[in-house]
Structure 1
């Protein structure tokens, strides 16, 4: 854990130093999770705000980059650090853990299952809209 301040000793007095840390990275690379682990000590378990603000909305968990499972260089690198690519079974377990409705996998690189994921999302959204008595509308682009 990091401490909020660092002390600089000059005799018996400590002076508080303030500093700014900037976390930079692509969207979805884990910046928020990194900060939550650092500040609160726990990993964020799956979108509590979605469950709070979108009650009754179907949740589809999507495992992306399945092509990386076939990447021998990455597999060796992960294995050497005691890690492995996520399996389909682990994805299903996560789906149950976060109470998602469906788990699907895709590889955008090889265009595998991409259309199926959006087709399934649209189908489930339409079904949920018909069940619910919503006053608003839903648009798919």
Structure 2
């Protein structure tokens, strides 16, 4: 019997403290939502996923978003294949920190690594804030998003 292909990929997840990074990974890996908020310093998970005919061992590196852990977080970046940059949909400061902090840090330590922007806590945000998020994303210089694509991106990320 012929065995399928296999691969290893490292995904690093960053964003402000309390923006929903750990919850996102816990639900993805364990299928349950954490009952209590416990700040993360560093946590890693391994999840097997199937992509077409390839079995992918996905190493998920959860990092601390608080400033006091900046010097530790940078050790998560080497050999990253992709970076998720998260923000909380109910927190405008977390969104503005994408440009002020996270994009700069990821670009410095992971040049040429793909970045995926993820809005978390959809259940806690309101319609007015949702409109502001899509408007702010369209105007930011950090990520170049053609206006025609913004609606599709916002929809697929559950921002609308």
Q: Which has the higher contact order (CA 8 A, sep 6+)?
A: 2
- After TM superposition, is the score higher than 0.5? no
Give the TM-score, by structure 1 length: 0.31
Greater fraction strand? 2
